[in-house]
Chain A
Amino acid sequence: MKNTASRSKFVLVLAGILLFGLLTFVIRYFMFADRWISHSHRSGTASIQKVTDRSGTVLYAPNEDQVYAKDAMVRKAALHLLGDREERIDALAIKQYIPQLVGFDKLNGTYGNEDGTGILELTVDGRIEAVALQALNGKKGTVGVYNYKTGEILCAISSPTFDPYDPPEITDANAEQYEGAYLHRFFSYTYTPGSIFKLVTVAAALENVPDITEQTFTCEGYVYVNGERINCQGGKAHGEQTLEQALANSCNCAFAEITQQVGAKNLINKVRQIGLTESMFVDGYYTKAGTFDKAFSEANNLAWAGIGQHTDMVNPCQYMTYMGAIANGGKAAMPYLVSSVESGGAQRYKARRTYTNSMITGSAARVLTEMMHNNVVKMYGAVNLPNVEVCAKSGTAERAGHENTATFAGFINDERYPLAFVVVVEEGGAGSAACAPIAAAVLKQCISVLNEES
């Protein structure tokens, strides 16, 4: 009997497993319940009323048979934030706030919430996004604009896109046309930056090379670094230039020299300080982290990296934030997409302003701002908008097997329109020619929206 009795502890093992499982599950409930609930509207267990843009225009009403915006261009432009009907595109920002949309908290669950009353307001404006998509004119790429004082993202579009009412059947034949159509390039892609990266190199130079603004750099159209020939665009000799002129000319020869003076360590540190190689969290989206060489055993590689080639890759949203930091004197508001969520008539979420780390010193930011405005005045007439001070830099990034990627980044240095922007056009050719008109059109629309709001 003693033996039988002690062997009946078999039951204790089973009860132990059961109770351990229960404990594990309860812990998991407290850790993940909001993640579970974030599937609720798609699974049919709960519904939400609508997603609007900053003007209150309905972009998406999941309740009523998944209705999107009336205007086809707005519909296509906002698609990546809203998700398609087949859920091939993950609407991460909306998903992030489903708990608030269905009135969920871990104590009450969704108790007391009237189903189908959730309203989510995005910071974007449908009209601005439509203009941006129009301006891209069918090219692949992305356009992002945000308010570096508040953090509101006014525009974040990704192309190629499609009409959610008429989703394309993607086959081998059109796979190229729809390459990456289900991803939001603004958050989930990285690009070779090209010369817009010179804004990082300049910042590093301003902070680490004391007399950099007094130096001059002579350009003969090419220079040899460690035996490798580095050309200026079109082999054009820029002659003797200051740092400001070299930036405006986007002179590769001068920057090869500047990069050597900055040194690998300082440049790497600058990239790290700006956070270009890290992922950033923006309302449900983890931006794709950029890359930057870690060692630079060869001087020519360092030179190329300072010019925005070599292994440099940056994420558009991340780079736009850096533009905001320059504009805002060193650090900017963190970008966000969702301004508020309400459910059952009660506000469940309201965006709060947070700031980035300090990316550059205030004095470097001031000098860069002047230089970037000089770029616009001297080189990018297209974005030289009346009555506002636009600051920018273009880039033309080489991409193996493809036409060059056109990049453009900058900001408006104006209290009334504190906007930073980034434009990337894949296979767009020369940076400023492809991107500056797009940036101009979008910024104009932004200004008119902001005027309307005030």
Chain B
Amino acid sequence: MEVFQNLVRGPDGITVLSVCYLILRIAMPVMAMFIMIRCGKSLLGFRREPEVWAWLRMPTGNLLPVTHWENLIGRKKTADIVLDFATVSKNHAVLTRKDDGSWKVTSIGGRGNIEVNGTQVMTGNVEYGDTISLGGLELTLEPVSKEEARLQSDARTKAGKGHSPGLTLVLLTLFQMMVVTAFVMYPTEHRNTILTAYGILVGVEWTLFIGQKLIKRSGFEVETVAFFLMTIGLGVAASANPANMFKQLISMGIGLVIFLVLGVFLRNLDKAKKLRYVAAIAGIVLLAANLVLGRNINGSRNWIYIGSFSIQPSELVKICFVLAGASTMDQIVTRKNLLSFVIYTAFIGGCLVVLNDFGTAAVFFVGFLAIAFLRSSSYPNVALIFVGIGLAAVMVLTAVLAIRNIPHVQERFSGYGHIWSHVYDNKGYQQTRSLICIASGGIFGLGLGRGWMQVMAGAGASDTDLVFAFVSEEWGLLMACMMVVALAFLGLFVARSAKVGRSSFYTIGATAAISMLLVQAMLNFFGTVDFLPLTGVTFPFVSNGGSSMMCCWGLLAFIKACDTRQNASFAVKLSEKEVEKA
């Protein structure tokens, strides 16, 4: 009984207002769950019907579907097109579709003997009707007829079918209205700031949605997840320091530009591959600028100031890193560009050692693991393993240096695992306050803007490093869980999409991007609750921090680029049927 009385009691006892507030407090996480279920169903429930891009006619007359832009042909079961003939190598060749729709075939490692129309080649263009001979086995490349294409596109799940993303966005907007109501229901001096900031957020998300509708793209779940997280993030800013709301929105705006530009670039694989070099150089320039101009904040030198505007270049380098690391199948199997990527990684690792930024080093390390693991493909890639070990060593070195040189890092590490013995000193101050406040918030939270963690914002990092606790205290544990689940959904989506990925470039890009986001979430959340030492990493889309926000939107473009559901993503070309209609 008492439990229920407490549920209803507001700051002024049990009143009409307090009952309304109770309804809001419960309705918000319920709505959030509902939104997440809709996004999850749509992202994880689609039928993975492969896209057929061409056919290979066997000498027997059988047709083998070519289901990716890059297809490994060989005797091995893991090949995309399995040819179980003694004369065919385990990994024989790669058949690649170019952006203009033409095809080429590439021999792997030079051992596979390939003839196109009777001429031996290492790599050569293939036209429809041409014969490719692999170890004496003759295959004819045949196009997909319009009728087949139509049947196929009808068989594939349309993004948003059954789970209208528009309706989900309406629900998100309702959720945002609830959030605003919860903020302004009891008098606050920041009423107008909060109303304006959320108004802008709603405006932006609807503009983006309608814009995508206009270009006939119907998948908006990935963006919805991001906007959901941003809604919480803005709420944290509103509570901690309302002025930060606009900073976050501006960063989101820049992030969205990166997201859109990158997405459009990724649509075209040839362009994207060229962009890699630009990105790689940009990454180097950014880190170099960081090394030269970096200012020491809390022991790490990873901030540069331009006037009153501060950025963390290492955040933006993450986008460059993923671009530089993504690679197409023909490059993977011929190990092209591998050396440059290895050198690139080593350079980033080196910079992070100098910058003393252990948390970011850990995020890059996992990103590297993802890329290396996917790129090593069917080859045991000694070089990548070697670099992996090297990078791990770099990370340990960074950790050791950071722990030794920076008092606050040293304290964080030495307090790890026994924070309750350090309630009053820096070794456990942040995590103990976090756990106390998480408990204090209960399942439904103390109410937006009404927690204790806000006094620890800024220097105490409660709105960045400890944001899980911040959200848990004010929005409730349920909402904080939702925030973690939202990111996990994106991860599951990427893993699910990989099977019907067009190019390994996209699969690698998306895998690396989401891996980095997931590890960030992990380090942030686990650090806050003392499962791991606190590393000062932001929670994607939620933590206060402009550079981090931009980076997250940038990384999101890679996830959009792997969304091959029928007409789902602006970062993927429309199917020919839809183009025709248009």
Contacts and interface: CB of A to CB of B under 8 A. Distances in A.
A103 B5 CA distance: 11
A24 to B, nearest CB: 8
B436 A18 contact: no
Interface stretch (A2-10, A321-329, A354-362): A2-10
Contacts of B531: 21, 24-25
Contacts of A1: 67-68, 70-72, 80, 329, 501, 503-504, 507
A10 B494 CA distance: 10
A3 B71 CA distance: 10
Interface in A9-39: 9-12, 14-15, 17-19, 21-22, 24-26, 28-29, 33-34, 36-37, 39
B558 interface: no
B64 to A, nearest CB: 14
Given A8-B374, A112-B10, A45 B437 contact: yes
A36 B436 contact: yes
B481 interface: yes
Interface stretch (B107-115, B133-141, B444-452): B444-452
A9 B491 CA distance: 9
B442 A36 contact: no
B397 to A, nearest CB: 24
Given A10-B373, A10-B511, A11-B491, A5 B440 contact: no
Contacts of A46: 440, 452
A112 B9 contact: yes
B61 interface: no
A4 B374 contact: yes
Q: Is the interface of B mostly helix, strand, loop or mixed?
A: helix
A344 B491 CA distance: 45
Nearest to B14: A112
B380 to A, nearest CB: 12
Tell which of B6, B7, B67 has the most Cβ of chain A within 10 Å. Answer: B6
B432 interface: yes
A37 B526 CA distance: 19
B426 to A, nearest CB: 13
A11 B494 contact: yes
B436 A10 contact: no
Contacts of B374: 4, 7-8, 10
Contact of A19 (B9, B329, B436, B484): B484
A110 interface: yes
B521 A18 contact: yes
B2 A346 contact: yes
Interface in B65-94: 67-68, 70-72, 78-80
A279 interface: no
A400 interface: no
B522 A106 contact: no
B122 interface: no
B527 to A, nearest CB: 11
B128 interface: no
Given A2-B78, A29-B477, A12 B492 contact: yes
Contacts of B491: 11-12, 14-15, 18
The winner among B70, B443, B484, B504 for most chain A CB atoms within 10 A is B443
Contact of B6 (A9, A21, A33, A111): A111
Output the residue of A3, A18, A24 with the most chain B CB within 10 A. Answer: A3
Contacts of A103: 6
B519 interface: yes
Contacts of B447: 111
Interface string A290-329: 0000000000000000000000000000000000000000
Contacts of A34: 439
Interface string B370-410: 10011001100000000000000000000000000000000
Contacts of A24: 531
A10 B515 contact: yes
Contacts of A2: 72, 78-80
Given A2-B72, A8-B494, A18-B487, A29 B511 contact: no
B525 interface: yes
B284 interface: no
A2 B504 CA distance: 9
Interface string B185-203: 0000000000000000000
A1 B328 CA distance: 9
A5 B329 CA distance: 12
A11 B477 contact: no
Q: Which of A7, A15, A37, A114 has the most CB of B within 10 A?
A: A15
Interface string B503-527: 1100110110011001101100110
Given A10-B511, A11-B494, 11 more contacts: A2-B80, A3-B378, A5-B507, A18-B518, A33-B439, A36-B436, A43-B433, A45-B436, A107-B3, A108-B7, A108-B443
6 closest residue pairs by CB, A with B: A109-B442, A112-B9, A15-B491, A8-B498, A33-B439, A5-B498
Interface of A: 1-12, 14-15, 17-19, 21-22, 24-26, 28-29, 33-34, 36-37, 39-40, 42-43, 45-46, 102-114, 344, 346, 348
Interface of B: 2-3, 5-11, 25, 67-68, 70-72, 78-80, 329, 332, 366, 369-370, 373-374, 377-378, 420, 423-424, 432-433, 435-447, 452, 473, 476-477, 481, 484-485, 487-488, 491-492, 494-495, 498-499, 501, 503-504, 507-508, 510-511, 514-515, 518-519, 521-522, 525-526, 529, 531
